[in-house]
Amino acid sequence: MDLSLKTVSYSQDRKDWLGSQHGTDVLRSVTLDVSTFTKATHYPDGYLKSGLPIGKITATGKYGLYDDTKTDGRQTLVGFLWTGVEVIDHRGNASTSVGGSMLIHGFINTAKLPVTVDAAGWTDVASRIYTV
């Protein structure tokens, strides 16, 4: 039995990127491929940040970071990560896939997103996600 002292840090999830509560009651469950995210940028504290833009990987059906330069399905923006998701556990072990939820309809404050989204991405979601 390990009775040594351990320190666990918790992160406060920010949702200031939401333009309103509209659409937050219709979230979609997703499985995220962690290898498509960069640790230093997207989960420096062990959690994927809410508000990250995501696309669906065609070959696996999993979701990853939206990137218009890719050809694996992630070049099409489909939604935004709704809430922060733990990727690295308290022992420092990284997951390869994690479950999460995706906002697919609503209003977004683009200035508050954790990363920028290009014009092609906004065109992908123009009929269901609105910017403020």
Contact 46, 69 (CB under 8 A): no
pLDDT over 60 (residue 61): yes
Helix (H, G, I), strand (E, B) or coil at 132: coil
| pLDDT computed for residue 36 by the predictor | 96
First CA to last CA distance, the chain: 53
44 pLDDT band (50/70/90 cuts)? confident
| pLDDT computed for residue 122 by the predictor | 97
| pLDDT computed for residue 93 by the predictor | 78
pLDDT over 90 (residue 124): yes
The predicted model gives 4-16 an average pLDDT of 68
| pLDDT computed for residue 94 by the predictor | 79
